[in-house]
Chain A
Amino acid sequence: MDNDKTSAVAAHNLTKRYKGSLAKGAAPAVDNIRISVPVGCCCGFLGKNGAGKTTTLKMLVGLKKPTAGEISIMGAPQVFGGRKQLPFGYLPDVPGFYPYMTGAEFLTFCAKLCGIPSDKRPARVKELLDRVGLGRARGNIGGYSRGMKQRLGIAQALVNDPKVIFMDEPISALDPIGRRDVTEIIRGLKASGDCSIIFSTHILADIEEVCDFVLIIEKGKIMAQDYLPNLKTKYKRDEAEVRFHEAEAARKFAQAAEDSENGLRLEATNPLSFAVRLPEGIGENAQHLSRRVNALLHTHGLPIESYTAHNPTLEDIFYAAISANVEGGTK
Chain B
Amino acid sequence: MNHYLVFLEKELTENIRTKKMLVLVCVFFFFAFTGPLFARYMAEIFEFLLPAAEAEQFMALFPAATWTDSYVQFYSNLSQMGAIVIIFMFMGLVLREKRNVTADLVFCKGVSPTPFILAKFTVSSVISLLCLMLAILINYGYTVFLFGEGGRIGYVLAGAAAFGVFLTMLIAWVVLASTLAKSTAISATYGFLGFFGMLTLSALPRIGRFLPTGLMTHNVSITMGDFYPDFAAHMGIAAGMTLSFLALAVYLLKRQEL
Indicate, yes or no, whether A interacts with B.
Answer: yes
- Confirm or deny: B104 has a beta carbon within 8 angstroms of a beta carbon on chain A: yes
Is A92 a contact partner of B109 (Cβ separation < 8 A)? no
Knowing A101-B13, A115-B1, the reply to whether A62 touches B105 (Cβ < 8 A) is no
A88 / chain B contacts, CB cutoff of 8 Å: 108
Chain A residues with CB below 8 A from B17, complex form: 100
Q: Which residues of A contact B80 (CB under 8 A)?
A: none
- Whether the pair A112, B6 counts as a contact (CB closer than 8 A) is yes
- Distance in Å: Cβ of B95 to nearest Cβ of chain A: 13
Q: Does A114 contact B (CB under 8 A)?
A: yes
- Chain B residues in 8 Å Cβ range of A86: 110
**Which one, B169-177, B190-198, B250-258, is touching chain A?**
B250-258
Would you call A94 an interface residue if the criterion is a C-beta within 8 Å of the partner chain's C-beta atoms? Answer: yes
Q: Closest residue of chain A to B110, judged by CB? A: A85
- Contact present for A97 and B106 (CB under 8 Å): no
Binary CB contact string for chain B from 105 to 138 against chain A (1 if under 8 A, 0 otherwise): 1111111100000000000000000000000000
Asked if A118 and B109 make an inter-chain contact with CB atoms under 8 angstroms apart, the answer reads no
B100 beta carbon closer than 8 Å to chain A: yes
Which residues from chain A contact B152 at a C-beta distance below 8 Å? none
Quick one: CB contact mask for A77-104 with B, threshold 8 Å, 1 for yes?
Answer: 0001101111010101111111011000
CB atoms of B110 and A96 under 8 A apart = no
CA distance A83 to B114 in the complex (A): 11
Nearest CB of chain A from residue B105's CB, rounded to whole Å: 6
Q: Which residue of A lies closest to B103 (CB)?
A: A96
B105 touches which of A81, A85, A96 (Cβ 8 Å): A96
Instruction: Out of B6, B100, B258, name the residue touching A109 (CB < 8 Å).
Output: B6
Within 8 Å CB of B18, what residues of A?
Answer: 100
Contact B109 A160 (CB under 8 A): yes
B182 at the binding interface (Cβ < 8 Å): no
Interface status of B144 (Cβ within 8 A of chain A): no
* Among candidates B3, B6, B10, B107, residue contacting A63 with C-beta atoms closer than 8 Å: B107
CB distance from B51 to the nearest CB of A (A): 52
- The A/B interface has a contact count, at CB < 8 Å, of 67
B101: Cβ under 8 A from any A Cβ: yes
Q: Is the interface of A mostly helix, strand, loop or mixed?
A: loop
How far is it, in angstroms, between the C-alpha of A115 and the C-alpha of B111 when the chains are bound?
Answer: 11
CB within 8 Å for A95 and B101 given contacts A63-B257, A64-B257, A65-B257: yes
CA–CA, A94 to B110, complex, Å? 20
The minimal Cβ–Cβ distance linking A22 to chain B, given in whole angstroms, is 16
Contact (A92, B105) CB under 8 Å given A83-B111, A86-B110, A109-B6 = yes
Residue of B nearest to A62 (CB): B108
Q: Indicate if the CB atoms of B110 and A83 lie closer than 8 Å.
A: yes
* Contact in complex: A113, B101 (CB < 8 Å): no
- Inter-subunit contact A81/B254 (CB<8 Å): yes
Those of A108-138 within 8 Å (CB) of chain B: 109-110, 112-115, 118
B14 at interface, CB cutoff 8 A:
yes
Cβ contact within 8 Å between B100 and A96: yes
Is residue B102 within 8 Å, beta carbon to beta carbon, of the partner chain? yes
Complex formed: what's the CA distance from A330 to B10 in Å?
Answer: 54
Is residue A228 within 8 Å, beta carbon to beta carbon, of the partner chain? Answer: no
What is A's interface to B at a CB cutoff of 8 Å?
58, 61-65, 80-81, 83-86, 88, 90, 92-98, 100-101, 109-110, 112-115, 118, 153, 156, 160
Q: What 12 additional pairs, Cβ within 8 angstroms, besides A63-B258, A81-B255, A85-B109?
A: A63-B257, A64-B257, A83-B110, A83-B111, A96-B101, A97-B100, A100-B13, A101-B13, A109-B10, A112-B6, A113-B106, A113-B111
29 A-B pairs in the complex with CB atoms less than 8 angstroms apart = A58-B257, A58-B258, A62-B108, A64-B257, A64-B258, A65-B257, A80-B257, A81-B254, A81-B255, A83-B110, A84-B110, A85-B110, A86-B110, A90-B105, A90-B108, A92-B104, A95-B105, A96-B100, A96-B102, A96-B104, A97-B100, A98-B10, A100-B13, A110-B109, A112-B1, A115-B1, A153-B105, A156-B105, A160-B109
Q: Which 5 A-B pairs have the closest CB atoms?
A: A85-B110, A96-B100, A96-B101, A100-B17, A112-B6
